[in-house]
Chains A and B, each alone.
Chain A
Amino acid sequence: MVVGEIAEERDVVVIGGGPGGYQAAIRAAQLGKKVTLIEKESIGGICLSTGCIPSKLFAEAGKKRDSLQSLSRLGIEVNEAKFDLTVLQKTKQKIIEQLQKGIGKLIKENKIELIKGSAYFLSSDRIGVEHGHNFTIYRYTSAIIAAGCTKVSSRENSDQRLLDYESIFAIQEIPEHLAVIGDDYLALETASTFQQLGSKVSLIWLKGDFPFDVSINKEVKRIFKKRKISIYFDQKVKEVHANKKIEIVMEDESGETSTLTASHMVKAALRKPNSSALGVDRLGMKTEYNGHIVVDHACQTSINGIYAVGDITEGPPLAVKAVKQGKVAAEGIAGVSSEYDDTFMPVIVHTNPPISSVGLTQAEAEKTYENIKTATFPMSALGISAVTGRKEGFVTVLKEEGSDLLLGIHMIGEGAVELSTSSVLALEMAGRTEDLTFGFYSHPSVNEGLLEAIEALADKAIHLAPRK
């Protein structure tokens, strides 16, 4: 390859076509910028090809399969349901291709130049793109780094039974007994999904408790227990032996070891931000010691004109974060004063029933506010739950006494994901109790769960026995 001095001139260069990158590119184009998007693999990133979309498809399949049992109460008889994983895998492939095509079309329609290749920073205003034998240098005005993370490869990957939270959605057979190891939403989701797809599931939780409000933690445990998912809390995994079966040796708090035997195991892969591969070190860009790029509230890095968004920056590796950051960065480049603030970023878990959590949990609120009040309203008390037969879960809300300011809205139950936007909106608008109880809530619907929980803060929930 020849590194010439001739550089092609570009305006805004976006590195990486995942959810953060492509949305940044489109937003910048909407604001009148000429945009070049560099992607080395396929548009849509991990989210689309191995992350969010495949996992949610599996969750949907699990949920539907589970719901078959409850059809008979509606008079619908289903004889012996069959589940063909190969069809699900084909559907997954089709969805991915269809969504990729959609994004590709949008890129074209927004007149965004798409370049295939791996990018490497040469200086703070020049980037090289390598594609096969070609190496082209571009000089840009602004750049958005959305290059994400890469799995650090592992010897384990050669054994088809040792999976991570991406490869598990590419499997060809449903595990007979799946051991799920983790400490975040992915572990909960995967445990829930595969239990419903027919696996026996054991969850090895690496921490003391689940990460939600205490009320939700309790409900998840109850539901998992009912579904015969065994949970091992506060464990350290000492050894994994991939023999005829997968043997997992774990050690609890007190130092006692036990062995769990399973047919398959899933755990998080170690992922490394792609910052050094991009050569940001040579620019003197500020990174965390583990390589995550440090950005400010406008998503700008320590180098003027270079922005970074998504998994390559600090914070949770979630598409919801990347998407927001991508827009903020693009708007910053176009001179709009946007800000990224994750105070009310919802935590969503597609378990069955799903969880959504926004704002402070009780434990967090107690640290900051002197006088808080919480109320919980069970979904089972709603008319809609009687109709659908989905009675699990509840809504827990927190407010500051005196000011009536809402501090957190946490829910588990059918509809929790859809309702999460109401929670986010209420908290972003600095909503107080009356702001939420004033309006109308369609009947019958799960929306009423939120209404009654907030009414319960003032002991005014209709479908709740008076406090004794």
Chain B
Amino acid sequence: MEIKLHDIGEGMTQAELNHYFVKPGDKVNADDPLVEVQTDKMTAEIPSPASGIVKELIIEPGSTIPVGTTIMLLDSPHSTNQKQLNTRSMDQASVNPSEENRVETHKKNTDQKRILASPYTRKIARDHQILIQTIKGSGPAGRITDADVYSVIENEKSEINQASQPIEENTQKLKNTLPYTGIRKQIGKKVAQTLFTVPHCTHFEEIDVTEILQLKDQVKREGQSISATIFFIKALSICLKEFPVFNSSLDEQNGQILLHNQIHMGLAVNTSDGLLVPVLKNVPEKSFRTLQTEMKDLHQKAENRTLSMAELKGSTFTISNAGPLGGSTGATPILNAPESALMAFHKIKKRPMVNENDEIVIRSMMNISMTYDHRIIDGGSAIAFTNHFAELIEQPLSMMVEL
């Protein structure tokens, strides 16, 4: 049985093989991890599809391989073991002449959808050392055309040219180039797609977070450290239950809005390579402390690029905490499609505010920007949503009552 690098999602077409968890001769059970691979975004373990014995490791650790490559061979009792029959000695065979297989197992590739390209097109790719498996076909029914191959060739050429352009030329142009590949390109593709296809708008609100900060300090004095973000996340989970359309995705094709039963919070994390959005799962069911630990862990993994596929998938709402980065007062974030809404928190500042008694008091204020999919959410609902959110934050007791 061949173990292949399957589609790893996120538009990634190749991965680097980090290391094997097994060696030839090892017995493995179904779902045991066999090998770890890494893309620009994350690391993933490939589990064993069946129980069996590891036969051969084909790819050297450290190699970069395209999706579809056979990584290793597994001897599984489920796969027919015809070849063993060939090893019978002739003496045995003369007594029992039945079982020599003159035709050895034909390794015909029948378990994988084939490459839709004519032999001529395939040769163009080979001639340019391009793995045709990595090309997405633009032709009818996903066929790879000559033009598709040539455009990949041109792209590669221009990347090489960019990398090898002499410095004088660069200074002449007064421009440097940076590679637009990997994670950067993925982000670019995704935001462009969302911006062009989802009509979304953003509204701003100002929230008094003085009480929450006091509560946070109080908890700290008790020896627990819970960040303000966790309080915001918890408050959001209450709002999302009340306004389920903010925790939904539009399925335009089937004419329905999918309301999600779970609340999984996407956390926009700024890394040195760009934006990553790991997911804090099942927010309502978890304690403040658990959420705090898990969030810290996800941030760490994002920075170390060790997030797993599972940790990057499944968010139903996304938050972006711009506060710790410095002084923004507002933003117009782009949705994390297919989610219907996203909230950004900006820097908390002490400001003179007018209270109920018309007195000027010093309060800690935070701006929020909330982007929503205007196809399914109207401005009125968005205001109701942020009003409720503000209420819970400004009066933490009311939040505690709801939890």
Point out residues on A near B: beta carbons under 8 Å.
Answer: 152-156, 165, 181-186, 204, 206, 235-240, 250, 267-271, 288-290, 292, 314-317, 337-339, 342-343, 345, 360, 364, 367-369, 403-405, 428-430, 432
Chain B 84-120, CB-CB to A under 8 Å as 1, else 0, gives 0011101001111111111110111111111011110
In the assembled complex, which residues on chain B have CB atoms less than 8 Å from the CB atom of A182?
Answer: 102
Instruction: Tell me the minimal C-beta distance from A108 to chain B in angstroms.
Output: 31
Q: Is residue B296 contacting chain A, with contact meaning CB distance below 8 A?
A: no
Does B160 lie at the interface of the complex (its beta carbon under 8 Å from any beta carbon of A)? no
**Which 6 interchain pairs have the tightest Cβ spacing?**
A237-B98, A268-B102, A337-B126, A430-B116, A364-B110, A184-B103
Measured CB to CB, the residues of B under 8 A from A are: 83, 86-88, 90, 93-104, 106-114, 116-119, 122-123, 126-127, 129, 140-143
Q: Give complex CA distance A345, B118 in Å.
A: 15
Known: A267-B97, A338-B126, A369-B113. 15 other contacts (CB 8 A): A152-B90, A155-B94, A182-B102, A183-B103, A206-B99, A237-B98, A238-B98, A239-B96, A240-B95, A268-B100, A290-B83, A339-B122, A403-B141, A428-B118, A432-B140
Residues of B within 8 A of A183 (CB): 101, 103
For B143, give its contact among A239, A315, A360, A430 (CB under 8 Å): A430
Of A181, A185, A186, A360, the contact of B98 (CB 8 Å cutoff): A181
Residue of B nearest to A289 (CB): B87
Given contacts A290-B87, A369-B113, A428-B119, contact A337 B98 (CB under 8 A): no
B116 touches A250 (CB 8 A): no
Question: Does B99 lie within 8 Å of A317, measured CB to CB?
Answer: no
**Cα distance A183–B97 in the bound complex, in angstroms:** 12
Question: Are A238 and B100 in touch, CB under 8 angstroms?
Answer: no
The docked-state distance in angstroms from the alpha carbon of A404 to that of B142 is 12
Main secondary structure of the interface of A (DSSP, over half): loop
Q: In the complex, are the beta carbons of B106 and A316 less than 8 A apart? A: yes
Residue among B96, B102, B143 making CB contact with A238, cutoff 8 Å: B96
Residue of B99, B112, B117 with most partner-chain A CB within 10 A:
B99
Residue contact A343 to B104, C-beta cutoff 8 Å: no
State which of B94, B127, B143 has its C-beta within 8 Å of the C-beta of A337.
Answer: B127
The answer on a CB contact under 8 Å between A239 and B104 is no
Q: Are A236 and B96 in contact, CB atoms less than 8 angstroms apart?
A: yes
Q: Are A343 and B109 in contact (CB under 8 A)?
A: yes
- Residue in chain B with minimal CB distance to A367: B111
Contacting residues, chain B, for A429 (C-beta < 8 A):
118-119
User: Contact between A270 and B88 (Cβ–Cβ < 8 Å)?
Assistant: yes
CA–CA, A165 and B103, complex, Å: 12
Complex: A28 Cα to B271 Cα, angstroms: 54
Provide the residues of chain A in CB contact with B127, threshold 8 Å.
337
For A345, the chain B residues whose CB sits under 8 A away are: 108
Instruction: Give the distance to chain B from A265, nearest Cβ to Cβ, in Å.
Output: 8
A181 surroundings in chain B (CB, below 8 A)? 97-98
Residue of B at shortest CB range from A185?
Answer: B103
| Complex alpha-carbon distance, A290 and B100, angstroms | 13
**Can you list 5 contacts pairing A with B, beta carbon distance less than 8 Å?**
A270-B88, A292-B104, A314-B107, A405-B141, A428-B119
| Chain A neighbourhood of B106, CB < 8 A | 315-316, 342
Give Cα A288–Cα B127 distance, bound, in whole angstroms.
30
Contacts of B93 in A (CB 8 A): 154, 270
Tell me, in angstroms, the Cα distance from A110 to B293 when the chains sit together: 75
